[in-house]
Amino acid sequence: MPQIFHSSTNTLARASIVLAAIAPLGLMMALSAMSRTYFVRLNVPVQQPVPFSHEHHSNELGIACQYCHVSVEKAGNAGLPPTHTCMSCHSQIWTNSPLLEPVRESYRSQTPLKWNKVWDLPDFVYFNHSIHVNKGIPCQHCHGNINQMQITYKSVHHSMAWCLDCHRAPEKYIRPREEVYSFDYNLHAAIERYADEHAKATGKKLEQIPRNQVEFGQLLVQDANINKKQLSDCWICHR
Amino acid sequence: MKRMKTAYTAGLALLGLVLASGCHRDMYDQPKYEPYDQSTFFTDQKADRQPVTGTVARGQLALDDAFYRGAVNGKPVPNIPPAALARFANTRDMLRRGQAQYNTFCQPCHGESGYGNGMIAQRGLSQRRQVPTYHSPRLRDIEDGHFYDVITNGFGVMYPYSSRIAPEDRWAVVAYIRALQLSQNARPSDMPAEARQRLLRGENPNVAPGAAATTGTTSTNE
């Protein structure tokens, strides 16, 4: 009887063992890449009724975030601008732009514009803007460089691991309160200003000038009275 | 044979479980309303409801005309009412708050120092309607209550800002505009004697940081 398998199949068999070990890994990577684009929709611009540009209004015109997101310092929800807010300018400027027709129509008929959500936590997660903003967590950390987006897209995925990364060590990302709206934060200038103000307020120099974000962050965490111990307990976010 | 069948069923059940774990959207999107949601129940499609007309929430009873409307018997109040001053720990806090609110809501059109040359004015608004300067004799001499009224009800083509700026913050903005007017029209005799001496010696006259006349051109996002 002739041999059914050629001797080269031995190599094939060995290779298949290795492949079998690698395959699940590859599958996992493919799945996670798919879930990023299909389910999480990272970096995919979201269709809106009006092509509103943060790049234009925030970066170029320098309109403050709170002009439109009024409640971001005061409430859990940051708030989206009603049509009235757009019209406070667009009743006078670019009044003939066809792109703005939905805004004018909405104002005439008193029906709100329907913005599509970009970031949306699952309903079983509790979130609150005011505490983060008031304790020095910048918009930029959670929403990326939104001031440079022509059409808003999700630049950061808010997974549980991502929230916890900060809740376990907020000193890695915290800034002085007045820097939360900044998109060109300069750590060393901020440290200098902090040291100056400390000297002015207490009449004493800082014992040690912080050298990096973490050392500076530890001071700020202390000043903001942040209770790190409970911050990664489940009930903080799942209540 | 029997054992294989059980293994087979168990395998199927496991597969079913693995697949089912992907179907968890029901807890992600619970049948409840979040802010700004669209409603299929109310005719105006808004999930956010307005209070019934005529209801007054606790703490929202606005009887004090001077404080809430900036006018008594239809006449603008000449000065910031004491009730507004009482909402702030001190006048410096009030000015700081006013500065932050001014830079957020007014500066885009009226400019950082109030000359009516903000970015939006430059980008076309002033071609349609001149954004006025605060440093005209008429606005320098006008009642404090007039500014409050402009913020609350708008003026000409300027839209009202009452939905975005709380009454005490409107008064803080008024105080800050007064500080801006002072800063652009100060005479040496307005200065404390000590500061005037320093100015005459050619030194920096600024004494206390945050004093009204010196806050005019700083921009902090407080």
Please, which pLDDT band fits residue A5 given cuts at 50, 70 and 90?
confident
Answer whether residue A124 is part of any domain: yes
A31 domain residue, yes or no? no
| Parent domain of A227 | 54-80+115-236
- Residue-wise pLDDT for B30-44, tens only, equals 888 888 888 888 888
Give domain status of residue A34, yes or no. Answer: no
pLDDT digits (tens, 9 = 90+) for B167-186: 999 999 999 999 999 999 88
- CB contact at 8 A, A89 and B125: yes
Domains of chain B, CATH where assigned: 65-189 (1.10.760.10)
pLDDT at B215: 40
B76 φ/ψ sector (left φ>0, alpha ψ -120 to 50, else beta) = beta
Of B32, B123, B159, the CB nearest to A123: B32
Chain A nearest-CA distance from B28, in A, is 4
What's the pLDDT score for residue B106? 97
Q: Is the distance from CB of B183 to CB of B169 less than 8 angstroms? A: no
Q: Domain count for chain A, please give it.
A: 1
Asked if B103's CB is within 8 angstroms of A92's CB, the reply is no
Q: Does A201 touch chain B (CB under 8 A)?
A: no
In a domain, A159, yes or no: yes
Is A172 inside a domain boundary?
Answer: yes
Q: Is the pLDDT of residue A211 over 80?
A: yes
For tokens 């757009």, what's the residue? Answer: A86
> Among A31-40, A47-56, A117-126, B43-52, which is the least confidently predicted range?
A31-40
Does residue A126 sit at the B interface (CB-CB below 8 Å)? no
Mean pLDDT value across chain B? 85
Distance (Å) from the alpha carbon of B128 to chain A's nearest alpha carbon: 7
Closest partner CB to A178 (pick from B30, B124, B220) = B220
Angstrom distance (rounded) from CA A35 to CA B11: 26
B221–A114 CB contact, under 8 Å: no
- Verify whether the Cβ–Cβ distance B221 to A64 is below 8 Å: yes
Q: Express each pLDDT in B15-25 by its tens digit.
A: 766 655 555 56
From CA B16, how far away is CA A140, in angstroms rounded? 42
Average pLDDT over residues B140-166: 96
Per-residue confidence (pLDDT) for residue B213, from 0 to 100: 43
Domain for residue A3, yes or no? no
- The mean per-residue pLDDT over the stretch A118-131 comes to 95
Residue A39 resides in a domain = no
Nearest CA in chain B to A84: B159
- Write out the DSSP string of B47-105: SSPPPPTT---TT-----HHHHHSEETTEE-SS--HHHHTTSSSHHHHHHHHHHHHHHH
Strand ranges for chain B from DSSP E = 71-72, 75-76
The answer to whether position A98 is within a domain reads no
Q: Which member of B27, B120, B222 has the closest CB to residue A124?
A: B27
